[in-house]
DNA sequence: TCTGGGGTCCTAGGACCC
DNA sequence: TCTGGGGTCCTAGGACCC
């Protein structure tokens, strides 16, 4: 596995494009009142500027003449693409983790895996990357697993190159502080430290049950394995997004309801634009809400059908807002959509250009049927064999998936119920017999 | 000038189902 | 009459990453 991490990436692109900034401290990040540092050049780091630090703090630390820039994300993403294309020449298995970070499965690329060949390969990659990007540098780690490769690139940056030979993983790992393991942040670090675990060697001495008790099932067993360099996670190219969101911190806290609702509209628009561009739709809307005192809460609602329209997202988010106490003012609002599913366009619904039903009514859980079709309805106590034909409706939402909506009593007179199922033999024209579902 | 914005994964409780 | 054990889905919050 190879891990590549571009050095002080945003700042490096700025220094590439503006020669006057080369060799000087550069800080990229929010320049407004409530900004935070995204990237500090190594020159700025010498003065103590760090990622995630408030811009004000960075200004206090850096000398006059430091460049504070807002960021040009189009330029970063263009440069990133150049690098990722280079990586894809090495192997078909490339997993991009972020704009400035990726894993490459070198074995799948058919490369010789001895230390000398790998070192030469990494050296060559670093040079080509530098040339192709016009001056950006990166750190490379190569090891038998993703975690070790990432640790390798981290250990030798900037402009690093570290190959960890197979068999020497534990020698590299054990002296390291646990905090340097990916996934061990401030909270986990403190918990481990409270029981005397500071290095990976300390971690290695703890039993699986100890660690699970300390930090939970998933994290505990993950750490247990990590301490043993036991990591077989594959490189996964083309990960599908699971959620899309947009949020904004306001220069001054918002209090006016009409303003808040207007802001929700523009956030919803940003989310939906990306949703539609990706040809995807979601079922859950989440509203994120940060008060003047930085306390943060989220409220979410899941609808029965996937949606990708602004109206639905904005309406649901506004309803969620209505249930939150806004006294004191709002610092940040966010709108997100999750439960994403890509839908296939124009297949089984050639005559119906809108495969996804209009969901306005769904928000109130009192839907009007779009397409009505007679379907069997089951009543409590009724033998399935003798179920009457009642009115329900079917809405297809994609290939081989049929959702049937039942109206009327099930176990008791009550709300509308929805059933959905996947079946390769299913077609919307031929709904399944949902009576067997009870 | 206190604390961005975009994500992922996990946990825990409750509702509900078989 | 008293009360199970497996499971899924939803919601809210938290840790973590870049």
Question: How distant is C1' of B2 from CA of A208, in Å?
Answer: 39
Domain spans in chain A, listed from the N-terminal domain onward: 1-143, 171-226, 243-338, 372-428
Asked whether residue A251's C-beta has any atom of DNA/RNA strand B within 7 A, the reply is no
> What residue has its CA nearest to the C1' of C12?
A298
User: What's the rounded Cα separation, in Å, for the pair A83 and A256?
Assistant: 46
Q: For chain C, which bases have at least one atom within 7 A of a protein Cβ? A: 9-18
Question: How distant is C1' of C4 from CA of A416, in Å?
Answer: 30
Inter-residue contact A352 to A304 (CB < 8 Å):
no
Q: Which structure tokens are listed for A321? A: 């807002």
Q: For chain B, which bases have at least one atom within 7 A of a protein Cβ? A: 1-12, 17-18
The arrangement of secondary structure in A1-143, i.e. its CATH architecture, is 3-Layer(aba) Sandwich (3.40)
Q: What CATH class does A372-428 carry? A: mainly beta
Segment A12-62, tens digit of pLDDT: 999 999 999 999 999 999 787 899 999 999 999 999 999 999 999 999 999
For residue A337, give the nearest of A411, A392, A409, A274 by alpha carbon: A274
Question: How distant is C1' of C8 from CA of A418, in Å?
Answer: 15
Segment A259-316, tens digit of pLDDT: 999 999 999 999 999 999 999 999 999 999 999 999 999 999 999 999 999 999 999 9
Question: How distant is C1' of C12 from CA of A242, in Å?
Answer: 18
Cβ neighbourhood burial of A429 (10 Å; 0-12, 13-18, 19+):
exposed
Instruction: Cite the active site residues of A.
Output: 101
Rounded to an integer, the average pLDDT of A134-156 is 98
The A 36-75 residues near strand B by Cβ under 7 Å are 36, 38, 51-52, 54-57, 59-60
pTM of the model: 0.80
pLDDT higher than 80, residue A101: yes
Answer yes or no: CATH 3.30.1490.100 is held by domain A243-338. yes
User: What's the rounded Cα separation, in Å, for the pair A170 and A163?
Assistant: 14
Fold assignment, A171-226: DNA polymerase; domain 1 (1.10.150)
């Amino acid at each position: 596995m190879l891990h590549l991490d571009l050095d002080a990436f945003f700042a490096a692109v700025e220094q590439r494009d503006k020669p006057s900034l080369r060799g000087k401290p550069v800080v990229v990040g929010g320049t407004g009142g409530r900004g935070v540092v995204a990237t500090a050049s190594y020159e700025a780091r010498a003065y103590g500027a760090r990622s995630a630090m408030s811009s004000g703090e960075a200004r206090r630390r850096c000398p006059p003449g430091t460049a504070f820039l807002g960021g040009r994300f189009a330029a970063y993403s263009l440069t990133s693409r150049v690098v990722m294309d280079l990586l894809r020449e090495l192997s078909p298995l490339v997993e991009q983790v972020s704009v400035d970070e990726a894993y490459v499965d070198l074995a799948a690329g058919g490369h010789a895996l001895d230390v000398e060949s790998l070192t030469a390969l990494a050296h060559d990659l670093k040079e080509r990357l530098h040339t192709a990007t016009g001056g950006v540098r990166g750190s490379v780690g190569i090891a038998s697993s993703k975690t070790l490769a990432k640790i390798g690139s981290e250990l030798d940056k900037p402009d690093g190159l570290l190959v960890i030979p197979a068999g020497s993983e534990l020698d590299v790992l054990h002296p390291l502080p646990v905090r340097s393991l990916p996934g061990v942040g401030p909270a986990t670090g403190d918990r481990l430290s409270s029981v005397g675990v500071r290095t990976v060697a300390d971690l290695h001495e703890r039993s699986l049950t100890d660690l699970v008790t300390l930090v939970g099932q998933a994290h505990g067993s993950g750490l247990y394995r990590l301490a043993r360099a036991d990591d077989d996670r594959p490189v996964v190219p083309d990960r599908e997004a699971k959620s899309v969101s947009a949020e904004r911190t306001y220069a001054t806290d918002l209090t006016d309801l009409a303003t808040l609702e207007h802001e929700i509209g523009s956030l919803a628009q940003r989310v939906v634009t990306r949703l539609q561009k990706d040809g995807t739709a979601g079922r859950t809307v989440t509203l994120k809400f940060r008060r003047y005192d930085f306390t943060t809460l989220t409220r979410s609602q899941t609808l029965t059908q996937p949606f990708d329209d602004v109206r639905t997202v904005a309406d649901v988010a506004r309803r969620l807002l209505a249930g939150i106490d806004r006294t004191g003012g709002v610092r940040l609002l966010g709108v997100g959509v999750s439960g994403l599913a890509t839908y296939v366009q124009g297949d089984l619904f050639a005559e119906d250009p809108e495969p996804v039903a209009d969901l306005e009514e769904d928000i109130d859980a009192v839907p009007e049927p779009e397409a009505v079709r007679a379907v069997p309805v089951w009543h409590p106590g009724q033998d399935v064999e003798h179920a009457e034909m009642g009115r329900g409706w079917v809405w297809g939402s994609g290939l081989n998936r049929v959702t049937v909506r039942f109206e009327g009593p099930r176990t008791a007179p009550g709300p509308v119920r929805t059933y959905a199922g996947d079946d390769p033999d299913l077609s919307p024209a031929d709904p399944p017999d949902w009576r067997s579902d009870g």
